[in-house]
Amino acid sequence: MLAIVGTVPAADFPLSHGTLAYTPAGLTLNDDHLEVQRGTPALMAAASCACEALGLGSPYGFLVGDIGHGKGSRMLYQYLAEHIAEFACKTMVFHYLQPIAHWHKRVLDAIDALPSRPRLIADAGFMYAAKMGGQAVAYDLFTPDIGELAFLADENAPHPLYTRGFILHESARAPELIARAYAHRNAAKHLFVKGQTDYVADQGGIIAAIDEPSEPAMEAIGGTGDTVTGIVAALIQAGYAVPEACAVAARANRQAGRLARPNPATSVKEIILHIPAALEEALLEKGE
Amino acid sequence: MAWFKRCTAVSAEVQAVDLGFLTFQNTSEVLRAQKVLSRAGWKIRVMGPPPEVRTGCDLVIEFPLMEELRIVKTLADAGVKPENVVPVASPLLKPVDLYTITDFPEHLMVRAANMKITVDRHSLVIVNISGGGCPDVPFLAAAMTGKHLSKAPQPKDIGHTLCAYALQLAYEEMLKRCSP
């Protein structure tokens, strides 16, 4: 199964796990309705749409409430470290969690002990924790934006806030930042850099650059980076090789944006509605 | 024995990246801060400073770095101001001070590090917040979006993490650019 791990912005949301159900009316986990604005619920909604379009079962969610105290994140880290062997995960996506390097290590140790290792994707806080802990290379895919790529490229920074000034966060510098992240072993096996141009890269350099269709307003819309991570996760779960999944997801997310005719005030919910049609178009364009 | 030493070193290194130092002008300030933070339930440690952050005061407070914003706010509420806040693993690092500005026809977007804030140029209402990876980002976005720039709650008041700190920097830069 495809498992998605993250948080919701509510202090009292208990640690929960179960199969996700998404309809245009909303997203639910067990009987809990999840508001799809941005963050992990946006990733879950996008992944659910993409899974359905690809003929896959619904993703499985692991969620807890956390508004930045880190208490919920610690509970979820501990639960995964102790129980991950009870779930048959083929692909796992880790998302908004408080970045805590020693807890990240315990979860990764538990995954390493599994008889069959799932494909691992990290985004947001969990990606920060993986880099902070020096364990980036254990992952199949990181999905940073340009500010986060600069953080990966700075071998000393413990968080994007502390990225040194000479490592400029400019889209045009992405190829150089990618090379630097790999040189210091702070990148996953593959990188999908989200930006004006989306880059797919590995240790050998840039594999693909996708810049069409282009909707500049997408960068301002909270959750559009989360939706592309959800789509790529579904494609990897469906058996696509990571670079291929990234390229298709980039086109699908861009096309979903175009279909929504967005401006910087658009909600990501409006874009998610177009993911099934956009993914179909991206696969057709690829020749499938 | 060599194996044991290596494992201990790795473990210490992994934990150090999670930590920050608070430095103060004098020892009595350190002790006051220790009292405030301990009472508030934070896990902290008073210790000697590394050479890079020695300022004459011979003690620093080690704290969970990700929660920097909340800890500094707790101290400020008690009237205690640290002289400096630095990551343990790289004490010479400073928060970013570069901003990326994007002009849309009706909107303005400011990015600081990994956080972006976008406002309507005419109404000065915050229309979107994006980026970030700490769990208070969706919480902050929900609290601030749809509100006038000058009336929205500020990340420094309701946020907790370094992502909230980055959003505060972006917010302040936006405020500066939108002020008459």
pTM comes to: 0.89
Task: Report A:183-222 residues touching B (Cβ under 8 A).
Answer: 216-217, 219-222
The fraction of chain B above a pLDDT of 90, given in percent, is 56
Across the A/B interface, how many CB contacts are shorter than 8 Å? 193
Contact A96 B127 (CB under 8 A): no
Whether residue B12 is predicted with pLDDT greater than 50 in this model: the reply is: no
Count of Cβ atoms closer than 10 Å to residue A287 Cβ = 5
Would an 8 Å CB–CB cutoff place B106 in contact with chain A?
Answer: yes
Complex-level ipTM: 0.92
In Å, what is the CA distance from A271 to each residue of A8, A255, A267? 20, 9, 7
Q: Decide yes or no: CATH 3.40.1190.20 for domain A2-286.
A: yes
Query: What's the confidence (pLDDT) of residue A246?
Result: 98
Beta bridge partners of B23: B60, B84
Out of A73, A163, A265, name the one closest to residue B135 (CB): A73
Nearest Cα residue in chain B from A154: B93
Residues of B in contact with A172 (CB under 8 A): none
- Mean pLDDT across B9-17: 50
Could you give the 3-state DSSP secondary structure of residue B81? coil
Residues of B in contact with A156 (CB under 8 A): 89-90, 93
Contact A147 B114 (CB under 8 A): yes
Query: What's the confidence (pLDDT) of residue B27?
Result: 77
Whether residue B8 is predicted with pLDDT greater than 70 in this model: the reply is: no
The mean of the pLDDT values for chain B is 86
**DSSP letter for each residue of chain A:** -EEEEEEES-TTPPPEEEEEEEETTEEEETTEEE--SSHHHHHHHHHHHHHHHTTPPPPEEEEEE-SSSSHHHHHHHHHHHHHGGGS--SEEEE-S----HHHHHHHHHHHHTSSSPPEEEE-HHHHHHHHHTT-GGG-SEE--BHHHHHHHH-TT-SSGGG--TTS---GGGHHHHHHHHHHTT-S-SEEEEBSSSEEEEETTEEEEEE--S--GGGGGSTTHHHHHHHHHHHHHHTT--HHHHHHHHHHHHHHHHHHH---TT--HHHHHTTHHHHHHHHHHHHT-
Residues of B in contact with A123 (CB under 8 A): 133
Q: Where are the domains of chain A?
A: 2-286
Contact B104 A97 (CB under 8 A): no
User: Tell me: the pLDDT tens digits for B92-122?
Assistant: 788 887 899 999 999 999 999 899 999 999 9
Contact B14 A39 (CB under 8 A): no
Out of A39, A101, A105, name the one closest to residue B138 (CB): A39
Beta bridge partners of B108: B103, B119
Residue B3: pLDDT band with limits 50, 70, 90: very low
Name residues whose C-beta falls within 8 Å of residue A188's C-beta, 6 or more positions apart in sequence: A120, A122, A130, A136, A137, A138, A139, A140, A141, A142
Whether residue B57 is predicted with pLDDT greater than 60 in this model: the reply is: no
User: Tell me: the pLDDT tens digits for B117-138?
Assistant: 999 999 999 999 999 999 999 9
Nearest Cα residue in chain B from A122: B133
Task: Report A:130-189 residues touching B (Cβ under 8 A).
Answer: 132-134, 145, 147-148, 151, 156-165, 168-170
B125 membership: H or E segment, kind and range: none
Out of B87, B109, B164, name the one closest to residue A68 (CB): B164
Residue whose C-alpha is closest to residue B76's, from B20, B18, B29: B29
Question: How is residue B48 written in tokens?
Answer: 């000697």
- The list of chain A residues with pLDDT below 50 reads none
Question: How is residue A73 written in tokens?
Answer: 């994140």
Whether residue B1 is predicted with pLDDT greater than 60 in this model: the reply is: no
Residue B54: pLDDT band with limits 50, 70, 90: low
Q: Are A194 and A149 in contact (CB under 8 A)?
A: no
Q: Where are the domains of chain B?
A: 16-87, 99-178
Query: What's the confidence (pLDDT) of residue B56?
Result: 60
Contact B98 A225 (CB under 8 A): no
CATH number of this structure's domain B16-87:
3.30.70
